[in-house]
Amino acid sequence: MTTAALPVAEAAARTHAATLAAIARPGAWWDGADRLAIVRATRAAPDCALCVARKKSLSPDAAHGEHASEGVLPPIAVEAIHGIRNDSGRLARRWFDHLIDMGLQPEAYVELAAIVASTVIVDTYAQGLGLPQPPLPEAVPGSPSFERSDDVADAGAWVPLAREGRAHILRSLGLVPGASALFFATFNPCYYMRPQQTFAIGRRQVELVAARVSAVNECFY
Amino acid sequence: MALVMGAAGGDGNVPRGALLRALAEAVARWRWEDVGSLRREGAAGMAPRQLSDAILVAAGFNGITRIADAIGIRLDAGTAETSVALRAETGIDGFAPPRKWAAG
């Protein structure tokens, strides 16, 4: 049964278009074509047979095989993308260490995580409204900047966090400032990140939705 | 709190709480047919913009929970101190087993 789409919030529409345009440009550790491949891999992840088998297993280590992939990205990057997209509640330090041992640089991982999570926001919003996933722009040619912040500190996470910040989540992507800017620009219209932010539902309703999504995703934070 | 954890019915003193809880869950699980049904159900008592904003919040938290889990961040000290009882009541600590941070 088809359902009429709901109205799109203007700020979100602007932001999400800007997010995809930003992803298409060269980043810090991935070029524009790679970054768009990360988006496509995120979108393809729900249909990955290995991920479906892992999701059904008591431990994600129990199922073995290869991820569904278009073959553009290194397999270890696809592992990271599918893990974050499909089974984020069960990600563990041992899994992250394996990615690094297999050659994925922590900075590249941080940027990848920001792209995956930004894609999740953009696509979840569109599909939740009854709209198709937004089309992707063409990749902008150019090389990565290899930007890495030195203003970071060990806060017990898997990667160093930005040294300053009100909360760990706001510091989480600080190792690659461009990745942090990308993700939080995408996330900001979704919550009370700025004093002027308002929603058509009340604060208690916003908090209920936020808390329920966190619980479903088994996120402790 | 039981409403958040899915252990209670009713609205939990939140306007349209039961519908919003179900909508949040359906969006988080990417169950689009359920989302469509809930949009139709919600249209009876909520404005389209309200439903749209609820989905926007859900979409945002579908993303930010993935950042928290993918980076392996720990709870902020201040939050940890002030939420001991809440976390015990809800079982949220079960989402952060020691193996999440245990190396190799």
**pLDDT tens-digit series, residues B39-78:** 998 888 899 999 999 999 999 999 999 999 999 999 888 7
The reply to whether residue B16 touches residue A205, judged by beta carbons under 8 angstroms, is yes
Contact status, residue B36 vs residue A3, Cβ threshold 8 Å? yes
Choose the closest CB to A220 out of B35, B46, B96: B96
Give phi and psi for A153, each to the nearest 5: -150, 155
Looking at the domain assignment, is residue A178 inside a domain?
A: no
The reply to whether residue A172 touches residue B71, judged by beta carbons under 8 angstroms, is yes
| Ramachandran assignment for A144, one of left (phi > 0), alpha (psi -120 to 50 degrees), beta (any other) | beta
The reply to whether residue A210 touches residue B61, judged by beta carbons under 8 angstroms, is yes
Residue B3 has pLDDT above 80, yes or no: no
Q: Is A138 exposed, middle or buried (0-12, 13-18, 19+ CB in 10 A)?
A: exposed
The reply to whether residue B59 touches residue A199, judged by beta carbons under 8 angstroms, is no
Helix (H, G, I), strand (E, B) or coil at A152: strand
Looking at the domain assignment, is residue A40 inside a domain?
A: yes
Our count of domains for chain A comes to: 1
Q: Please work out, in degrees rounded to the nearest 5, the angle formed at the alpha carbon of residue A189 by the alpha carbons of B77 and A186.
A: 85
Looking at the domain assignment, is residue A16 inside a domain?
A: yes
Looking at the domain assignment, is residue A212 inside a domain?
A: no
| Ramachandran assignment for A205, one of left (phi > 0), alpha (psi -120 to 50 degrees), beta (any other) | alpha
Tell me the β-bridge partners of A161: A153
Q: Of A160, A79, A128, give the one whose Cα is nearest residue B60.
A: A128
A173: closest chain B residue by CA: B71
What is the pLDDT of chain B when averaged over all its residues? 85
Residue B95 has pLDDT above 90, yes or no: no
Contact status, residue B95 vs residue A179, Cβ threshold 8 Å? no
**Secondary structure (DSSP) of B19-88:** HHHHHHHHHHTT-HHHHHHHHHHHTTTS-HHHHHHHHHHHHHHHHHHHHHHHHTPPPPHHHHHHTHHHHH
Asked which of A91-95, A194-198, B24-28, B93-97 is least confident by mean pLDDT, the reply is B93-97
Sign of CA dihedral A141, A143, A144, A147: negative
Looking at the domain assignment, is residue A168 inside a domain?
A: no
Give phi and psi for A156, each to the nearest 5: 85, 5
Looking at the domain assignment, is residue A207 inside a domain?
A: no
Q: Of A82, A93, A158, A166, give the one whose Cα is nearest residue A120.
A: A82
Contact status, residue B17 vs residue A201, Cβ threshold 8 Å? no
Choose the closest CB to B72 out of A157, A171, A213: A157
Distances (CA, A) of B30 to A120, A121, A129, B27, B98: 10, 12, 12, 5, 29
Which residues in chain A (121-160) have CB-CB distances under 8 A to chain B?
A: 121-122, 124-125, 127-130, 155-159
Looking at the domain assignment, is residue A191 inside a domain?
A: no
Host domain of residue A106: 10-144
What is the pLDDT of chain A when averaged over all its residues? 94
Chain B nearest CA to A64, separation (Å): 19
Contact status, residue A216 vs residue B25, Cβ threshold 8 Å? yes
Chain B nearest CA to A158, separation (Å): 5
Give the integer Cα–Cα distance in Å for A186 and A108.
Answer: 19
Contact status, residue A110 vs residue A179, Cβ threshold 8 Å? yes
Which residues in chain A (42-71) have CB-CB distances under 8 A to chain B?
A: 46
Looking at the domain assignment, is residue A172 inside a domain?
A: no
The reply to whether residue B17 touches residue A208, judged by beta carbons under 8 angstroms, is yes
Residue numbers of chain A with a pLDDT score lower than 70: 1-4
Residue A87 CB: number of other CB atoms within 10 A?
18
Amino acid sitting at position B17:
G
Helix (H, G, I), strand (E, B) or coil at B9: coil
Q: Which residues of B touch A219 (CB under 8 A)?
A: 65, 68-69, 95
ipTM of the complex: 0.95
